[in-house]
Amino acid sequence: MDPVSSLLNGIRAEGSAVSHAVLKAPWTIRFADRAPLTMVTVLRGGGTLVLSDGTEMVVARGDTAIVRGPEPFHLADRSDSLDRPHIEYEIACFATDPECEAEEISGIHWGAESTDATALIVGAYQASGRRHDRLLRALPPVLVIHEDIDTCDWLEKAAVDCASHLAGSQALMDRLLDWALVCTLRTWFASAGSSAPTWYRGLADPVVAPALQAIHGSPSRSWTVASLAAEAGVSRALFAKRFAELMGRPPLGYLTEYRMDEAEDLLADSELSVAQVAKAVGYADPFGFSAAFKRYRGMSPTAFRAAA
């Protein structure tokens, strides 16, 4: 498993708030969910994202925007619509006191169908554990990726189908959002250049990539610098130097940090004992694991589980 798959593997839309909106200008949508992650795909027309800090970003047909929460933000047909008479909608189904009705958010068309209207698919993701937090830390406040127009047509047909509330519609839309999120993030990672996380840039390096795949594929193995260098097919000295230069930390430091990240997810499962978690991330001795976890996270595994 590569680092991108490992990071995205635990991100799931479950009962996500989804809306297929068709809007006639002037309009605004206020996203008040404080959701960790919101994805907006423009199927037709376009608008302007206005973030809480005043940042504006134009989105057009074929654009998918991913906005990192939790601050509320707006999407408007144009930015000055916020200061003039307009129709205002709000998505707040994940808020403490949601005021939206289920049928309003599940795919019903907003506004009137029109050739010059804007059509959107909006998906808001709730938090899904520590892995989700690590994904959010890797992303900028907002990113926009252009999708193929044929993909937009297909997405709109799928959203309309889900609006019919046939059996399995929610699961279908959840999986559709998962697919769209993975595709969008993978495209952004590939085009982000130096802005991409170091672990992503490492996947393009012929020396570092085999070691990253080995670590993420089998974190419980007793890896050493020599065995990781063997995976890369280079000398121990060359591997250690290249890995540290590209990843900003030595190989075994990266391995330990990844193991601690995985341990956090496993500790959230109360069915697993600390000893079982320790074994799953490569520690034969639960006491050694507890000491390492406390050194990296500032608390024991038991205290972390209680706090989580």
The yes-or-no verdict on residue 204 having pLDDT over 90 is: no
- Evaluate the omega torsion of the peptide bond into residue 206 and state whether it is cis, within 30 degrees of 0: no
Query: What is the pLDDT at residue 306?
Result: 87
Among 11-25, 106-120, 208-222, top mean pLDDT goes to 208-222
Span 230-258, average pLDDT: 94
Query: What is the pLDDT at residue 150?
Result: 66
Q: Say whether pTM exceeds 0.75.
A: no
Q: CA 131, CA 10: separation in Å to the nearest integer?
A: 7
Span 186-211, average pLDDT: 83
The yes-or-no verdict on residue 242 having pLDDT over 90 is: yes
The residue ranking higher by pLDDT, 88 or 296, is 296
pLDDT bracket for residue 105 (50, 70, 90): very low
Residue 233 Cα distances to 204, 241, 282, 307, angstroms: 16, 14, 23, 43
CB 304 within 8 A of CB 268: no
pLDDT bracket for residue 255 (50, 70, 90): very high
CB 50 within 8 A of CB 124: no
Least confident of 104-113, 151-160, 182-191, 281-290: 104-113
Helices and strands, number each (H, E), in the chain = 13, 10
The yes-or-no verdict on residue 305 having pLDDT over 80 is: yes
Token duo for residue 244: 């540290």
Residue 142: strand, helix, or coil: strand
The yes-or-no verdict on residue 106 having pLDDT over 50 is: no
User: Amino acid identity, residue 188?
Assistant: W
The yes-or-no verdict on residue 291 having pLDDT over 90 is: yes
Query: What is the pLDDT at residue 301?
Result: 92
The residue ranking higher by pLDDT, 119 or 66, is 66
pLDDT bracket for residue 107 (50, 70, 90): very low
CB 105 within 8 A of CB 93: yes
Query: What is the pLDDT at residue 91?
Result: 65
Query: What is the pLDDT at residue 68?
Result: 86
Span 228-256, average pLDDT: 94
pLDDT bracket for residue 189 (50, 70, 90): confident
